Amino acid sequence: MSTEKAILERRLSEKLARKSHDIVESIKHIERTGQNLNDFLIPTRSLHFTNNNEVEITWPEPQSLEGTQHFKLHDNAVYQLATRFGINARDLRREASGSEWERKVFADRLNAYTQNVPKKNFLVRTVNDTAKAVLSDKYKRLNTAAIFMAFLTAAQKAGSVLVDANHGELRDFAEVILPRVVEIPTEKNGIVFTVFGAQIRNSDFGASLLELRIFQMNVVCLNGMVSQSMIKEKHLGSRIEETGAITFAQETVEADTKARALMVRDIMDSVYSEENLTRERERIQEASTIELDFQNEVKALPKTGMLQGEVEMLNKALYESDPENGLQGKNTLWKLAQGITHVANEVESADRKRDLQDIASGMMANFVK
């Protein structure tokens, strides 16, 4: 083993140890959300919206002591209601969080829709006193915590360690790596010291797909990037035909979750196959052969979802070209992708970090298959 490689492995181990407390807390948060998550299948005619200092969603519930279920509305649920009713989402969100008269307009408008649109069922997903999602009645009821536990168990069996986890407002992520540094010589960007692993992501609230992807991390700077999708599944199944208000039992959620957890477990067995890892090494090497006009490529990045402030951070990083940030050598596709993932490491939001990793991965996919 080279001296540099040994130093990087020790540095990686130290960094993982420092992050271990935050990772454990994130996993605990994911588990708590799963324990407090409840699903209700409600006909549109039964839904009612009120304004009591803040907008609420209610429906008759014979099993409730008060006879009515009522929950605060999360912004994500407001957005989904706009989508389901074909209303301008920006206007509806403004009304939901606006002044008293705006909130009254919100409630009156949605009450008019529920009583006049064609009859259908909505799946209302709640956590504690808040409705965080209003989903299609075809939405698969999955518990992220159980699926992530299957992922982590299979990863540990394969010799992986948990490198990061995040419980976001709407999306959850977990990333594992095989803690074995791989040296990849490239044509125009020196030697890349990297580790391979897997990232799983899911949203209990309709904000992302259940997805498991190969994960690669530059050991020098901890820039992370995802590539090949092993699972990319929408939460859609067969439509539920019941017409009355239904509260789903925990067993129902567990049945849908168990099938996905088993699929994740089985796919994790193949993540570190020689075929997959060889393909990932070749992608990095090929990306290092493709020189780009950075000025034109960076100018186009806002179209992919990159914010102007993030573009400015990227320009600064590319100009400085610091090897400690994973940036060295000629202006190649690999260097630009590393620049974007460096920006991802600099932003505060864990959700935004993964969004930027996706932008970098998307750019790689445009050139390297």
Per-residue pLDDT reduced to its tens digit, 265-305: 888 888 889 999 999 999 999 999 999 999 999 999 999 99
pLDDT band with cut points at 50, 70 and 90 for residue 99: very high
CA distance 188 to 287: 9
Q: Across all residues in the chain, what is the average pLDDT?
A: 88
Q: Does residue 22 have a pLDDT over 80?
A: no
Percent of the chain with pLDDT over 70: 91
Q: Among residues 352, 229, 206, 364, which one has the least CA distance to residue 288?
A: 364
Residues 225-242: pLDDT tens digits?
Answer: 998 788 765 554 433 344
Mean pLDDT of 192-211: 92
How do beta strands 161-167 and 172-177 pair?
Answer: antiparallel
- The conformational region for residue 278 under phi > 0 = left, psi -120 to 50 = alpha, else beta, is alpha
Q: Among residues 92, 14, 91, 83, which one has the least CA distance to residue 49?
A: 92
8 A C-beta contact, residue 288 and residue 186: yes
Query: What is the DSSP annotation of 119-143?
Result: P-EEEEEEETTEEEEEEETTB----
CA distance 184 to 228: 19
Task: Output phi, psi for 132, to 5 deg.
Answer: -95, -10
Place of tokens 């610091």: 322
> Per-domain residue ranges for the chain?
36-136
8 A C-beta contact, residue 193 and residue 216: no
Q: CATH number of the domain at 36-136, out of 1.10.8, 1.10.3470, 3.10.310, 2.40.50? A: 2.40.50
Q: What is the pLDDT of residue 249?
A: 52
**What is the reported pTM?**
0.83
Continuous segment of H or E residues that includes residue 80:
helix 75-85
Q: Does residue 222 have a pLDDT over 90?
A: no
Percent of the chain with pLDDT over 90: 59
